Chains A and B, each alone.
Chain A
């Protein structure tokens, strides 16, 4: 990142703060070092040890997102809050849009559901893009809105609501040529869904303007609230220029559903032999009848890339961890570790 780009990034972050301050959200600053995490089987955290001169050491994790802390604050009665936090994810590709350490804007709004958050996000993006010296292609409001059901109908030619059974989805994936023969009968619903989504749907999503892809299948494990009487949940992801920029849920607070999610994820984590300390009290965080609220996590580095026209994440952050850094590291091995992750 050049000093000029750093100046632009600082300006964008300052405007994000002004925006949420004016919206009446309290800025919070929660720990990066966390003794417990929300169980998420597809995230590999960085681990470290807190050394004690008196007794055994304690394992701590670098937070992959500030969610666990921020939800505790919401449960404690903080009201609407936001944070611009450093987050850490291990075992992921280092590349054009990925650095193991990145900046996330996360906010929770009391009394608002996921659809209202699209409008909040639109107002934020509108404000940030208006402040740029020149208009940015593909970053305009209002966002396009498309449900997952419509997207599968348009780009994969299937009715996703009729493919809720594993066998039905597998037949469709096989017919569409996205399931390798040797994997027949071996895949979960989530995995088959992702194969179809990535091969057929995501590459075809419209890119002329930002897109809120709405109403994800309830069969995908997440902490978003189901839409009663449908196979969908109150969740969207924001794509700008084909890149995933933000994720939003109307947050699930019912303890039995949060517990079911946590147990499922803990089981998957254990199956992969990755010990992670999860918070046993997490499912009981919110008392029955807790007001409806929703949360958005937005990748700040990716947004700055889009707003400034940077081609690589290294153009908007200082000292990115690059393959070259890893290869030349004097302490590390000279061979680049190959990461294979389930």
Chain B
């Protein structure tokens, strides 16, 4: 059991029989009243999003999860297909609710998967990752304004705003949470 006030973004809960991931948490004190928290929960079985209001003293059921290494194989649009690196067994995680993850997964790469009672629940994306720029316009000649930026497209299809000196074929580091450019990576 966990007090609702201790629930944070990233907590896994068992709620009405289904596993949920907390994706947002906000505390509210209505009109100088006592503290409540508002949660946005994602049902990890169906991808459905649920909003729930709880008093910070209410109990919730936290689930104990474990992590395993998996290899990302491909997506068919409905699901992401993975393989456990130890047993070579394959499984699928629904794309619904995880649409954004496709920008950070390249076929053949290894990720950590969050497991609960031998069910895969969530894929962990590293906070920072390096990608190749596949589309970039050349900087306009004579444009020397400091801080000038432009859009480029990465190998996974993600569009990011980068400094004007970044060229096609170069590698750049991305903050996967904010989807923002961090730095150019040499070599």
Do the beta carbons of A197 and B30 come within 8 Å of each other? yes
Quick one: which of A40, A180, A190 contacts B59, CB cutoff 8 A? A180
Quick one: which of A191, A202, A247 contacts B55, CB cutoff 8 A? A191
Do the beta carbons of B27 and A93 come within 8 Å of each other? yes
Q: Within the assembled complex, what's the spacing in Å between the Cα atoms of A340 and B56?
A: 7
Q: Which of B8-33 contact A (CB under 8 A)?
A: 8, 26-33
B181 in the interface (beta carbon within 8 A): no
Tally of contact residues, B, Cβ under 8 A: 24
Do the beta carbons of B27 and A42 come within 8 Å of each other? no
A4 in the interface (beta carbon within 8 A): no
A270 in the interface (beta carbon within 8 A): no
Closest residue on chain A to residue B28 by CB atoms:
A198
Residues of A within 8 A of B56 (CB): 340-342
Residues of A within 8 A of B151 (CB): none
Residues of A within 8 A of B27 (CB): 92-93, 95, 98
A189-200: CB near B (< 8 Å → 1, else 0) gives 011001101110
A244 in the interface (beta carbon within 8 A): yes
A237 in the interface (beta carbon within 8 A): yes
A95-B26 contact given A339-B5, A340-B3, CB 8 Å threshold: yes
Do the beta carbons of B34 and A191 come within 8 Å of each other? yes
Q: Which of A143-197 contact B (CB under 8 A)?
A: 178, 180, 182-183, 190-191, 194-195, 197
A170 to B: closest C-beta gap in Å: 14
A123 in the interface (beta carbon within 8 A): no
Do the beta carbons of B6 and A338 come within 8 Å of each other? yes
Do the beta carbons of A341 and B35 come within 8 Å of each other? yes
Q: Within the assembled complex, what's the spacing in Å between the Cα atoms of A129 and B57?
A: 40
A96 in the interface (beta carbon within 8 A): yes
Residues of B within 8 A of A194 (CB): 30, 33-34, 36, 55
Do the beta carbons of A42 and B29 come within 8 Å of each other? yes
A46 to B: closest C-beta gap in Å: 16
A220 in the interface (beta carbon within 8 A): yes
Q: Within the assembled complex, what's the spacing in Å between the Cα atoms of A268 and B35?
A: 14
Residues of A within 8 A of B6 (CB): 338, 340
B167 to A: closest C-beta gap in Å: 29
A162 to B: closest C-beta gap in Å: 21
Do the beta carbons of B29 and A216 come within 8 Å of each other? no
A222 in the interface (beta carbon within 8 A): yes
Closest residue on chain A to residue B60 by CB atoms:
A180
A198-B5 contact given A96-B26, A191-B55, CB 8 Å threshold: no
Quick one: which of A93, A96, A342 contacts B34, CB cutoff 8 A? A342
Quick one: which of A40, A42, A199, A220 contacts B35, CB cutoff 8 A? A42
Q: Which of A208-247 contact B (CB under 8 A)?
A: 216, 220, 222, 237, 244, 247
Closest residue on chain B to residue A183 by CB atoms:
B58
B150 in the interface (beta carbon within 8 A): no
Do the beta carbons of B31 and A237 come within 8 Å of each other? yes
Q: Within the assembled complex, what's the spacing in Å between the Cα atoms of A340 and B35?
A: 9
A332 in the interface (beta carbon within 8 A): no
Q: Within the assembled complex, what's the spacing in Å between the Cα atoms of A183 and B59?
A: 9
A43 in the interface (beta carbon within 8 A): yes
Do the beta carbons of A342 and B35 come within 8 Å of each other? yes
Q: Within the assembled complex, what's the spacing in Å between the Cα atoms of A190 and B33?
A: 8
B50 to A: closest C-beta gap in Å: 12
A24 in the interface (beta carbon within 8 A): no
Quick one: which of B26, B51, B55, B58 contacts A203, CB cutoff 8 A? B51
B87 to A: closest C-beta gap in Å: 36
A216-B31 contact given A93-B26, A96-B26, A198-B36, CB 8 Å threshold: yes
A54-70: CB near B (< 8 Å → 1, else 0) gives 00000000000000000
A305-342: CB near B (< 8 Å → 1, else 0) gives 00000000000000000000000000000000011111
Closest residue on chain A to residue B8 by CB atoms:
A338
B38 in the interface (beta carbon within 8 A): yes
Known pairs A191-B34, A197-B30, A198-B36; list 20 more (Cβ under 8 Å): A42-B29, A42-B32, A42-B33, A92-B35, A93-B27, A96-B26, A98-B27, A180-B58, A180-B59, A195-B36, A195-B53, A195-B55, A199-B53, A202-B30, A203-B51, A220-B33, A338-B8, A339-B5, A340-B3, A341-B5
Chain B interface (Cβ within 8 Å of chain A)?
3, 5-6, 8, 26-36, 38, 51, 53-59
What are 25 A-B contacts defined by CB distance under 8 Å?
A42-B32, A42-B33, A95-B26, A98-B27, A180-B59, A190-B34, A191-B55, A194-B30, A194-B55, A195-B55, A197-B30, A198-B28, A198-B36, A198-B53, A203-B51, A222-B31, A237-B31, A244-B30, A247-B31, A338-B5, A339-B5, A340-B57, A341-B56, A342-B56, A342-B57
